[in-house]
Amino acid sequence: MTEDIISLIRENVIQGRVTQDDEGLDEGLVGRPGVTELIEKALAKRLDVRDIINKGLTEAMNLVGQKFEQKEYYIPDMLASAEAVGVAMEILGPYLARSGIKPKGKVLLATVKGDLHDIGKNIVMILLRGAGYTVKDLGNDMEPQSIVNAVREENPQFLGLSALLTSTMVNMRDTIQALEESGLRDKVKVVIGGAPVSEEYAKSIGADGYGSDGFQALAVIESLTST
């Protein structure tokens, strides 16, 4: 029975079905329980939260990643699956401490000053939530000082900065400098991304990491989490 619910959770994450009203990828799924209903059922049955996360959610996302690598899945498929995991993690939130599970950490995301482009940042947000991070989106066109204030208040482990334009990417450097001036730089790891940005640029402005796309961003943050 335990295995049944968990394997159903896995299947529905792969289908990207948050609730029973979602259609997923295959035909004829509407009306069957989605991830929300299944997680609630699993909790009612007092299944081990660690099993739900590891054997259900994480394993499913690994399979989704493989499908993406094999070109079977597209970004919208990945996002649907990640969204399902994000919703599951939200429901599981209050149970994590009780089960002795350490939260993965908090990430603040922002598109820097002068830049209104947020598709990339929003994709990163969905993927991070899907991987179990707590994510707060600060929004677009964020002044360095506003970002510094948010870091001080929220005390995140990670700060993700995004820019689409060559004219606004310089504001990433200004933001990192502002963090240094306020003495917060070593409290938070800064990861940057966006079309004009590169690994080299990240190094040159003193960022801790660079993600060439949403999945790379997640991978970089995962690797910085474990160090």
Q: Which residues bind other proteins (CB under 8 A)?
A: 16, 22-23, 25, 74-77, 79-80, 83, 116, 118-119, 122-123, 126
Nearer to other proteins, 99 or 166 (CB): 166
Give the C-alpha separation, 51 to 47, whole Å.
Answer: 7
Give the nearest distance from C-beta 223 to other proteins in angstroms: 21
Residue 214 CB, shortest distance to other proteins, in Å, is: 10
What's the min distance (Å) between Cβ of 202 and other proteins? Answer: 16
**Residue 203 beta carbon to other proteins: minimum distance, rounded to whole angstroms:** 18
Among residues 27 and 186, whose Cβ is nearest to other proteins?
Answer: 27
CA–CA gap between residue 174 and residue 161 (Å, rounded): 11
CA angle 148, 183, 121 (to 5 degrees): 35
- Contacts of 74 by beta carbon, 8 Å cutoff, 6+ apart: 68
Nearer to other proteins (CB atom), residue 111 or residue 175: 111
Contact 175, 144 (CB under 8 A): yes
Looking at beta carbons only, is 11 or 77 nearer to other proteins? 77
Q: Using N-to-C axis directions, what is the helix angle for 75-96 and 59-69, rounded to 10°?
A: 170
